[in-house]
Each structure stands twice: as C-alpha cells, then as structure tokens.
Amino acid sequence: MSKKKKEKNLKRIFIGQTPIQDRLILGYTPKQRQWILERDSEEFPVVDNEGKVIPDQFEKKPCCQFLLDESEGMKFPRRCCSTYRLECHHITAKGYAHFKLHWREKKINGPDNGIILCRHHHLGRVHAEMELVGNFMYRFSEDAYEILIKWHRALTAAGHKYWWTYWDDDLRRRARARTWDFTHNDKNEKINPFPYRKNKEALRK
C-alpha cells in the first residue's frame, strides 16, 4: 500500500469520516495545539553552526513532559524534554471521556487534559497498542486501525481504560501546574487565555 493511501485511511478513521459517533469526538484545534506547545516550552542553550554552546543565550522550545522514573531505568526522576516529533496527548482519552465519563467538549479538549509528549513516549508507552498496530498489524490488514477503534469502544463500554494509566496522575498535575504558571503573571493577573472552541465550532455537521 502506498504511503499516500495509508495516510488517507488514517485521516478517514481518526478525523471522523467513518462511524457517526466518532464525529462527535473532536481533537484540539491548531490554535489550541499551538497554545499547549507554548505552555510546555523550556529554555535551551543556543548552539552555533559548529555545535558549540553560546554562553548566556537561551531559546524557548516545546518539549516532551513525560516523567522518566524507575520504569524508564532512571535512578533520579526527570522530564524527557525531547524536542523531536512532539504530539499533543489527551491525558484522559477522548473516546473514554466522551462515551464513558460524558465529558463536554470543553473539558475533553481543555488545557488540563492536554500535554506535550514525544512520539516515543506517546505511542511507545502511553498508547503502546497504537505502536503495535502501526508497526505490525497494519502490514497484514488495512482494517487494523478500524479493528483497534472497535476494541477501544468495547473496552470503554465495559468501563475499562484502553491506555496505560500509570503516568496519568503525574501528567495531569504537570498540565495543571504549567497551565497556572502560563496563564498568570507575577502579580497573579490572568494572561494567555486558552482558546476554547466557540459553541458553533464545537459541533461537527
């Protein structure tokens, strides 16, 4: 299968052009993703063309907020901080939040439910089943992702979460703390409001 056709199938499944219930689950808008990227940015030293660090010069870059702990072989916990292949992760998955918890779109795609992860930790750790489908099952069946979505629905209906929840509490605390710091200045005044969808934009035709 060509790369173009594969991307078209993925878009059809995850954007909501298949089952009608999938159309109710919207993801973050480009503006919301950009807001979360800016919120989850850290200062990194500036490096010149020769690979040398320029003293006293820093630049802000979005980076992975995944906690590297004993499960990752780290003796002292620290954040991943990778800047490569970043993705916006829903801490409570969209399908589970919508169908089981009955969250509104504003809460599903709110700042406290989203955080930046690198693809390695997003698909390789939290959503390991997606990595399995992408690297193995899809080679043998074009319907692999649709089968996975049905499996997610079945687990949701039974009240089971279909992602690895080990890091959920830490990621949620991290998202809330960074949201507070990003939306309040030193005088405790509100700045950088989150770009929620308008009512008309929250409904997909």
**Is 28 in a helix, a strand, or coil?**
coil
pTM for the whole structure: 0.80
Cα–Cα distance for residue pair 86/74, rounded to 1 Å: 22
CA distance 68 to 29: 28
193 occurs within a structural domain: no
In a domain, 198, yes or no: no
pLDDT (0 to 100) of residue 149: 83
Where residue 136 falls among pLDDT bands split at 50, 70, 90?
Answer: low
The pLDDT assigned to 12 comes to: 45
Residue 144: inside a domain:
yes
Q: Is residue 203 part of a domain?
A: no
Q: What is the pLDDT of residue 204?
A: 44
Find the range with the poorest average confidence among 14-18, 26-30, 118-122, 184-188.
Answer: 14-18
CA distance 182 to 89: 18
In a domain? residue 205:
no
Type and span of the H or E element at 86: strand 86-90
Between residues 33 and 22, the one the model is more confident about: 33
Decide if 50 is inside a domain: yes
111 contacts 90 by C-beta, under 8 angstroms: no
Average pLDDT over residues 22-29: 69
In a domain, 7, yes or no: yes
User: How many domains, the chain?
Assistant: 1
pLDDT in tens, 49-101: 887 888 888 889 999 999 887 666 666 778 899 999 999 999 999 989 999 99
Residue 11 within any structural domain of the chain: yes
CB atoms within 10 A of CB 42: 15
Domain limits for position 114: 3-183
- pLDDT digits over 104-133, tens only? 989 999 999 999 999 999 988 999 887 777
Residue 20 has pLDDT above 60, yes or no: no
